[in-house]
């Protein structure tokens, strides 16, 4: 009984050794890493402002987050130096986001991942993004009206995009480290930017604008080893995710005349759901052949054509048009990744499992072998339904 009473007293009193007041802590929730002015890094530590997150402090001046940009020779050096600027005890247990500046990403990201992996407080589930066309510090400067927390805005926007169009993806540090530790697959990392606020507009004013500066999912970065080598945008970025079976749903708009030359010039839209791809790598007489098989379930979500959807031949023509378009886009993606000699799709990883002897002998030259390999693409599209109606209603 005495032990229980002692525990209750300790919980109620502020003098317990492991008890810390929120107002005495500086919780870092996001970190942006850019190339430093000299050889090191410029690290932006985004810290929660507790006064803005409480009911009593909600009316106090200031934003809910504060950015502290610090120059350091290494990531940990910058973290330690931040103590000269941050007036509270620093904790990183709530860190959820790492944004690496594009310039730094082109020079290499492995040292950063290594530093995060070694940190005691930091979780390896921290998500990684690349800032595009601007610094990581600039990305973390945007505070939106809907999501005043930039890290939450970036994560939520990326999740929405992944589910509805298929470009963005959430990649934690431990997954990237696993890619670097394994063989035969280079990383793809989501790019992030924002529509810059007009000159002279403060962040507090941005919260009051009808069309504020907002976070944007901005393509995907292709990596060779640990260096960013190229961006893919729009349809090709989406198609790369589709090859990786990471595209939950996306849309393909077509002109009606693409389906049938005798049709009108209106539009139709096909929406895919749960597409799935299989990658096969084969070696025959020292010749490498790559194969991509894509299963593409779809339904008609917009339709303004003067073709009869009750006619099976119409559905067949629509399916064939979708297959041809996806095949063309996959061809373009393959040409790009082979030109860059970076196997971000994982053909080498597949080969290491099916032919480990060949892989062990040739893995050091795989990027060059991959760039010269022939490839075959098979697309199987199936339209499951036409929505809530068949043919378009007729206007009187």
- Average pLDDT (352-377) is 95
In terms of pLDDT, which residue wins out, 366 or 9?
Answer: 366
Per cent of the chain over pLDDT 90 is: 63
The answer to whether residues 102 and 131 touch, using CB atoms and an 8 Å cutoff, is: yes
- Residue 58 pLDDT grade (very low, low, confident, very high; cuts 50, 70, 90): very low
Q: What pLDDT, on the 0 to 100 scale, is given for residue 365?
A: 95
- The residues pairing with 222 across neighbouring beta strands, listed in sequence order, are 188, 230
- Residue scoring higher pLDDT (376 or 260): 376
Distance spanning both ends of the chain, measured CA to CA? 84
Q: What is residue 200's predicted lDDT score, i.e. its pLDDT?
A: 52
Mean pLDDT of 326-342: 98
Higher pLDDT pick, 43 / 27: 43
Average pLDDT rounded to a whole number, residues 154-169: 94
- Residues 127/135, Cβ–Cβ less than 8 Å: no
The pLDDT assigned to 50 comes to 67
CA distances from 184 to 117, 174, 208, 351 (A): 22, 17, 49, 8
pLDDT band at 197 (very low <50, low <70, confident <90, very high): low
Domain boundaries defined on the chain: 19-232, 234-396
Q: What is the pLDDT of residue 19?
A: 47
Q: What is the pLDDT of residues 282-302, one digit of tens each?
A: 999 889 999 999 999 999 999
% pLDDT > 70, the chain: 84
Q: How confident is residue 331, by pLDDT bands cut at 50, 70 and 90?
A: very high
Q: Are 253 and 300 in contact (CB under 8 A)?
A: no
> Using CA atoms, how far apart are residues 24 and 87, in angstroms rounded to an integer?
9
Using the predicted structure, report yes or no on whether residue 2 has a pLDDT greater than 50.
Answer: no
- pLDDT for res 262: 80
What is the pLDDT, as a whole number, of residue 6? 44
Predicted pLDDT of residue 23? 65
Query: In the prediction, which pLDDT does 338 show?
Result: 97
Range scoring the smallest mean pLDDT among 124-128, 187-191, 390-394: 390-394
pLDDT at 351 over 70: yes
CA 28 to chain centre: 21
204 band by pLDDT with thresholds 50, 70 and 90: low
Band (pLDDT 50/70/90 cuts) for residue 7 is very low
Helix (H) or strand (E) segment spanning residue 1: none
| Contact in structure between 369 and 288 (CB atoms under 8 Å) | yes
What is the value of pTM for the model shown?
A: 0.87
Whether 90 has a pLDDT exceeding 50, the answer reads yes
More confident residue, 339 or 211: 339
> Which neighbouring-strand residues pair with 252?
270
Name the average pLDDT for the chain: 86
Pairing of strands 227-232, 249-255: unpaired
Question: For residue 120, what pLDDT band results from cuts at 50, 70 and 90?
Answer: confident
Mean pLDDT of 82-106: 92
Q: Kindly give, in sequence order, each residue whose CB lies less than 8 Å from that of residue 52, ignoring residues fewer than 6 positions away.
A: 58, 60, 62, 63, 64
Q: Is the pLDDT of residue 61 over 70?
A: no
Query: Of the CATH numbers 3.40.190.10, 1.10.10.10, 2.30.40.10, 3.30.300.210, which one belongs to the domain with range 234-396?
Result: 3.30.300.210
Does residue 208 or residue 179 have the better pLDDT? 179
Task: Indicate the SS3 state at residue 270.
Answer: strand
Q: For residues 80 and 236, what is the distance between their CA atoms, to the nearest angstrom?
A: 42
């Amino acid at each position: 009984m005495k032990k229980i009473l002692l525990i209750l007293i300790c919980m109620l009193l502020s003098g317990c050794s492991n008890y810390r007041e929120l107002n005495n802590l500086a919780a870092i929730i996001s970190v942006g890493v850019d190339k430093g002015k000299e050889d090191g890094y410029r690290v932006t530590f985004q810290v929660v402002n507790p006064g803005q997150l409480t009911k009593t402090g909600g009316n106090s001046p200031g934003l809910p987050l504060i950015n502290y940009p610090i120059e350091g020779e290494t990531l940990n050096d910058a973290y330690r130096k931040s103590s000269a600027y941050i007036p509270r005890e620093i904790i990183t247990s709530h860190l959820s986001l790492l944004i690496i500046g594009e310039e730094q990403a082109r020079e290499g990201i492995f040292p950063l991942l290594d530093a995060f992996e070694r940190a005691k407080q930091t979780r390896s589930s921290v998500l990684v993004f690349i800032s595009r066309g601007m610094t990581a510090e600039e990305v973390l400067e945007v505070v939106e009206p809907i999501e005043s927390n930039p890290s939450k805005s970036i994560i939520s926007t990326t999740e929405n995009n992944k589910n509805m169009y298929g470009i963005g993806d959430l990649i934690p540090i431990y997954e990237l480290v696993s890619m670097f530790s394994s063989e035969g697959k280079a990383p793809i990392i989501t790019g992030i930017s924002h529509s810059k606020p007009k000159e002279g507009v403060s962040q507090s004013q941005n919260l009051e604008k009808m069309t504020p500066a907002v976070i944007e999912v901005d393509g995907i970065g292709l990596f060779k080893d640990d260096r960013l080598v190229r961006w893919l945008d729009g349809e090709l970025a989406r198609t790369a995710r589709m090859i990786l079976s990471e595209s939950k749903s996306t849309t393909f708009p077509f002109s009606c005349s693409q389906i049938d030359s005798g049709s009108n010039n209106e539009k139709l839209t096909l929406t895919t759901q749960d597409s799935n791809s299989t990658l096969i790598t084969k070696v025959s007489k020292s010749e490498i052949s790559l194969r991509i098989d894509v299963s593409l379930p779809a339904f008609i979500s917009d339709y303004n054509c003067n073709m009869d959807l009750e006619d099976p031949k119409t559905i067949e023509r629509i399916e064939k048009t979708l297959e041809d378009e996806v095949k063309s886009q996959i061809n373009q993606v393959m040409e790009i990744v082979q030109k860059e000699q970076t196997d971000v799709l994982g053909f080498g990883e597949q080969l290491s499992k099916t032919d480990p002897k060949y892989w062990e002998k040739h893995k050091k030259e795989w990027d060059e072998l991959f760039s010269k390999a022939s490839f075959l693409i098979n697309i199987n599209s199936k339209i499951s339904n036409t929505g809530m109606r068949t043919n378009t209603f007729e206007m009187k």
